[in-house]
Each structure stands twice: as C-alpha cells, then as structure tokens.
Amino acid sequence: MNDGWFAGLDPGDGDAAARRIREGSAPEPADWPGLAVESGFADDEADYYDRLREATLAATRAAVTERERADDQQLVHAVRAMDDCERTANELAERAAEWAGALFDEAGSGVDGARAVAERDPDTAAERRAVSLAERVVDLADETEELERFIEETAPAVAPNLAEMAGPVLASRLMALAGGLKPLARKPSGTVQVLGAEDALFAHLAGRAPSPKHGIIYTHDYVRGTRPEDRGSAARAFAGKLAIAARIDHYSGDYRPDLHEELRERMAAIRARADDGTENAEGGDDE
C-alpha cells in the first residue's frame, strides 16, 4: 500500500495531520498534490501546499521539542538500568540453568540456555517454577536490549558530538559517571580519561600504583584497538576530544564535523606508528 500522509484524514484535524507527517511512511513517493486534490482533501494544488506547510511546521516543531526534551538524566538512568538488567539477567540465568539442569536433560547455560528453558512446557510444580524463572531471565535480557535501543535513539539528540565520537552507549556511560552532561562538560580531559578507573586512580594517588592510562574509554576501539605501547597516547588524544565534544554539546549543541575529523586524523597518526616501527616516545606527542 502506498498512501500519502493525508489519506483518509479529516482536513480540519491538524493534530492527526502532524502525527501522520511524523510517524507515517511509504515505500515510494507519488504525485501527492494531484492525489490530494483528486481525493478531495484539498481544493487545488495551492490549497494542498498550504495544508502541507501547516502540517510540516506543526509536526517538525513538535518533533524537535520532543527530541530536545529527552535530557541527559534520562540517559543516565537508562544506561545504569541497562547495566543492572544485564548483570541481573546473567546472575539469574546461572541459577535458572542450575535448576533446569536438574530437571531437564539438555539445558544450556547463560541467557541463551534460559531462552531454551523458557520455551518448554512444564509438567510438574517444580518445572513450572524453573521455567517461570527462565522467563524472567528472558524478560530482563529483552529489557536490556530495549534500553540499549532507547539510548541509541536518544543520545544523538542530547549530545550529538559525544554520541558520534564515543558511540551512544559509551557517551551515556561517561555522562553517568560524571553525573550528567553539565558536570562532564566541566571536567578537564585528564579526568575524562580516567573516569571509571577511580580505584586505580586513588591507589596511584596513595602512592601504591602507577597512574591509570584509561578508564571506561578503554571500551572504545580507539583505545582498545591501538597497540598497548600507544594506548596511553590514544587514550589521551581521545579523552581530549571527548572533553571538547561534551563542552560543545552542553554549551551550544551544534554538530561539529571538523572535530570528528581532527580526531580521526590524530588516531590515524598514532596508529601509523605501529606500521612504520617508530618506538613510542611516551609524552612526546602532547597536543
């Protein structure tokens, strides 16, 4: 079916029109002005464009407001909830697998094992409980995925540069560790570099350990994917740009493609050291 946004719409219903513009879709375009006049939705082409203008302005205004209202605190909650769900799902999956192993012949382990158990038809009271427990595991695992999807949709609106640079999930984790976008924007890049490595940092400050090279940003390929002897440089360069990205996102909100290009170039330069066999002179590449 290939319907325009106005199909079956009451021409006087502005709210419904705006909703159609925002949520509708079609496999391919068509002569919508002509079809709208033909179907009686508009008197003529000019009338159609007037209605289209009203509907697109209302729809886009509402969509922008909604996307902007999604704030950093929702992301902080979502990413913490996602981690809790994942951890709890894994923990419960172990318990469910142990129980299922005692009741059924072939019971796998982990969340996948729980998914298989949840599909079973229980015969006894004990089986009912074990299968039910496995179903909770599956629900939690599904919720983890839903939360991740929410983060992926929301982070680019809240912090476009940070989300582009770190990926939506890591961007949200950094905000969660700092307590929000604003506190993150106020942190120096050296702090951003070791966010999530507080234990190691305090051990270092107490004189018991070397300074940590990276915190949670280790999970990003820019750090993890760089050879160990260059990881300190990579983490420092990455954290520097992340700190700038957080400031731009908090104070202006514009997407700045140049910032991302600079980082890509910098990373390419750091990684090129591995190719041309240059020994890493640690500290010689401060920006």
Partner 1 sequence: MSEESGDGALPAGVERRTFDGERRLATRGKPVYGEPTDGAWRAWDAGRSKLGAMIASGMDVGLSGGETVLYLGAASGTTVSHVADFAGPTYAVEFAPRPVRDLLDAAADRDRLFPLLKDARKPDTYAHVVESDVDAVVQDVATRGQADVAVRNAQFLADDGRLLLAVKARSEDVTADPADVFEDVLGTLTDAYEVLETARLEPYHEDHLGVVATPDRSE
Going residue by residue from 133 to 172, which x/- string records binding to partner 1, judged by CB under 8 A?
A: -----------------------xx--x------------
Q: Is 60 one of the binding residues for partner 1 (CB under 8 A)?
A: yes
Give the integer Cα–Cα distance in Å for 176 and 165: 17
According to CB under 8 A, which one of 12, 27, 210, 283 is a site residue for partner 1?
27
Kindly report each contact of residues 207-214 with a partner whose C-beta sits within 8 Å and lies 24 or more positions away, as own/partner. 214/239
Give the integer Cα–Cα distance in Å for 36 and 56: 16
Piece of 24-32, 114-122, 195-203, 210-218 that binds partner 1 (CB under 8 A) = 24-32
Piece of 28-36, 97-105, 138-146, 212-220 that binds partner 1 (CB under 8 A) = 28-36
The DSSP string of 174-234 is: HHHHHTSHHHHHTS-HHHHHHTT-HHHHHHHHTTSSPPPS-SGGGGSHHHHTS-GGGHHHH
User: Total residues at the site for partner 1 (CB under 8 A)?
Assistant: 40
Piece of 29-37, 91-99, 138-146, 216-224 that binds partner 1 (CB under 8 A) = 29-37
Q: Is 63 one of the binding residues for partner 1 (CB under 8 A)?
A: yes
Burial of 243 (0-12, 13-18, 19+ CB in 10 A): buried
| Distance in Å, CB of 64 to partner 1, minimum | 5
Q: Is 132 one of the binding residues for partner 1 (CB under 8 A)?
A: no
Question: How many residues in the chain?
Answer: 287
Piece of 57-65, 80-88, 177-185, 279-287 that binds partner 1 (CB under 8 A) = 57-65
Phi, psi of 3, deg, nearest 5: -110, 145
Q: Is 8 one of the binding residues for partner 1 (CB under 8 A)?
A: no
| Distance in Å, CB of 28 to partner 1, minimum | 6
Which token pair is 36? Answer: 């709208």
Piece of 25-33, 87-95, 115-123, 232-240 that binds partner 1 (CB under 8 A) = 25-33
What is the CA 32 to chain-centroid distance, rounded? Answer: 36
Quote helix, strand, coil % in the chain, to nearest 5.
70, 0, 30
Q: Is 20 one of the binding residues for partner 1 (CB under 8 A)?
A: yes
Interface with partner 1 by CB under 8 A: which residues? Answer: 3-5, 20-22, 24-33, 49-50, 52-53, 56-57, 59-61, 63-64, 67-68, 156-157, 160, 253-255, 257, 261, 264-265, 268
